[in-house]
Chains A and B, each alone.
Chain A
Amino acid sequence: MGKKVLMKGNEAVAEAAILAGCRHYFAYPITPQSELIEYMAKKMPLVDGTFLQAESEVAAINMVLGAAACGVRVMTSSSSPGISLKQEGISYIAASRLPAVIVNVTRGGPGLGNIAPMQCDYFQATRGGGHGDYYTPVLSPSTVQEFADMAPMAFEIAEKYLTPVMILGDGMLGQMMEPVEFPDAYPPQKDPSEWALGARRTPDDRHIINSLYIDPYVLQEKTETLFKVYEEIKKNETRFETYNMDSGAKYLIVAHGTAARVAKSAVDALKEEGVELALIRPITLWPYPYDAVAEAAKGKEKVITIELSMGQMVEDVKLAVCGECPVEFIGKAGGVVFTPEEIVSLIREKIS
């Protein structure tokens, strides 16, 4: 590992992507991910990479599709409203079975909303986002270090399963500085001849990248193949972290990303008062760690989901817990971030 440096999440994920071999980046500016595109503008030319500020988000995501089809590691980034515009392209990339990484540094919504951190794009991220029968693996970091570590992880997952992968940060993780270390070596890119155009492995090997299948039976077969891949992703790539699990806690907290790190502070604070809480933090939001959440909820009196939204992940928690115990929700809208003290008092209300 290299030396620790103090960096914003936006910069750290950009640096990690470059270190991981990403040499193509197409995007359109938006707050609160501006430092990411700025960092790429500054650094890509130094590594003979391509930085292109597109004329729109729609253009940028289609450039990503094109670069991915050519077999290079490619990334784009944006924030909530910009990601909405990119959904058409993301659907096409998923249907075309191409690897690409999309960073979403979310902000307040709906509409133009504001530039404060929010987790209100959980549904959009975890349910495909664009049109059609598809999913996108979604990684949710909760520290700047994790944000950086997820860049190579996202490329690996994208290339292993030929799918777009989303890193779902938020305005706080993007803007905040924390110490971050970059590893000395990164996993190399997978041989792109498996998917790329112009990479003929045998004389008969033709790569046609397409998402249009007029014959319903052909589209049926293609979609079923896609969902077989999703089963593999669910089996191999589901990730989560647990905290204070062996404390004999009667209550379970479920939170991801920024909300999870604030919730951890609340768990520590309540522990000092003699109240034990267990915590589970989904790291992949799709595939969702349903089994792990169900297991963690076993024997608990109550499960409390904490989100920076009016309640989106809580639906997955309910699916996981499946009526075994009550699932409560603590949320905040508008881009207002909880303080640990607030969460502590809200949790106290829920368990008293």
Chain B
Amino acid sequence: MATTRILCAGFGGQGALLIGKLVAEAGMAEGKFVTWLPSYGPEMRGGTANVMVVVSDKPVGSPIFTKMDVLVALNQPSLDKFAKDTKDGGLIITNSDLCGDPENKDKIKLAPVPLTKIAEEIGNVKAANMVGVGALLQLTGCVERKSVEDYLSHMMKEKNPALLETNMAAIDKGASYVS
């Protein structure tokens, strides 16, 4: 891996920005160069939110990009907006519970994952974004599962060990769904 550019997008509150943050935190822990650049502005609840993440083995020049290697689309509007910006041969992970197929599906590798349904099966629909993290790690290998687990442990092991377990279960389910 030289440089991986990832765009995560969804409704505000779905946790798209957090997917990006976990990848950036894990990448940093692995000694890689990372940037995390959110879309920001006068957003409203239910509006769209997206983040551009770059993980690289050399210093990151521009944190902004026009074409990405990977798109994680948590809802249909995000897919409609960003699918065309995914590089030919790139990867699109969709939440198949809320998204159809993108128009450029023949040019890219499509991984539709029922993020919401899998999260519901685990018992916490809010962990849908974590199912997406699992799929992302499994399909790209851009960062290690262990680095993500270390960061999540650091954040919630003492405060909320049950939530840590749910998150890791969601990540593993997402990974096994696409493997």
- A and B are partners in one complex rather than unrelated chains: yes
Does A178 lie within 8 Å of B34, measured CB to CB? yes
Of B36, B38, B40, B63, which contacts A6 at CB under 8 A? Answer: B36
**Taking the complex as formed, is A139 at the interface, i.e. its CB lies under 8 A from any CB of chain B?**
no
Does B63 lie within 8 Å of A172, measured CB to CB? yes
CB distance from B136 to the nearest CB of A (A): 18
Binds A, one of B8-16, B21-29, B118-126, B166-174: B21-29
Interface size class of B (residues with CB under 8 A): 20 to 34
Does A340 lie within 8 Å of B61, measured CB to CB? yes
Interface size class of A (residues with CB under 8 A): 20 to 34
Chain B residues closer than 8 Å to A262, beta-carbon distance: 61-62, 64
Most buried by B among A178, A261, A341: A178
**Taking the complex as formed, is B164 at the interface, i.e. its CB lies under 8 A from any CB of chain A?**
no
**Contacts between chains A and B (CB distance < 8 A), count:** 60
Does B35 lie within 8 Å of A265, measured CB to CB? no
Chain B residues closer than 8 Å to A337, beta-carbon distance: 64
**Taking the complex as formed, is B66 at the interface, i.e. its CB lies under 8 A from any CB of chain A?**
yes
CB distance from B39 to the nearest CB of A (A): 9
Does B35 lie within 8 Å of A178, measured CB to CB? yes
**Taking the complex as formed, is A211 at the interface, i.e. its CB lies under 8 A from any CB of chain B?**
no
Interface string of A147-186 (1 = CB under 8 A from B): 0000000000000000000000000100111110000000
Chain B residues closer than 8 Å to A178, beta-carbon distance: 34-36, 60, 63
Does A6 lie within 8 Å of B34, measured CB to CB? yes
Does A176 lie within 8 Å of B25, measured CB to CB? no
Closest residue to A35 on the B side, CB-wise?
B40
Does A339 lie within 8 Å of B64, measured CB to CB? yes
Chain B residues closer than 8 Å to A265, beta-carbon distance: 61-62
In B62-92, which residues have CB < 8 Å from any A CB? 62-67
Does B61 lie within 8 Å of A6, measured CB to CB? no
**Taking the complex as formed, is B41 at the interface, i.e. its CB lies under 8 A from any CB of chain A?**
yes
Does A32 lie within 8 Å of B40, measured CB to CB? yes
Does A176 lie within 8 Å of B35, measured CB to CB? yes
A339 to B56, CA, bound (A): 17
A272 to B65, CA, bound (A): 18
Does B61 lie within 8 Å of A264, measured CB to CB? yes
Does A179 lie within 8 Å of B40, measured CB to CB? no
A sample of 24 cross-chain residue pairs with beta-carbon separation below 8 angstroms, ordered by A number, consists of: A6-B24, A6-B36, A31-B40, A115-B40, A115-B41, A115-B42, A172-B64, A175-B37, A176-B37, A177-B21, A177-B37, A178-B60, A261-B62, A262-B61, A262-B62, A265-B61, A265-B62, A266-B61, A337-B64, A338-B64, A340-B61, A340-B62, A341-B67, A342-B66
Given contacts A175-B37, A175-B40, A176-B35, 6 further A-B contacts (CB under 8 A): A172-B63, A172-B64, A262-B61, A268-B61, A338-B62, A339-B66
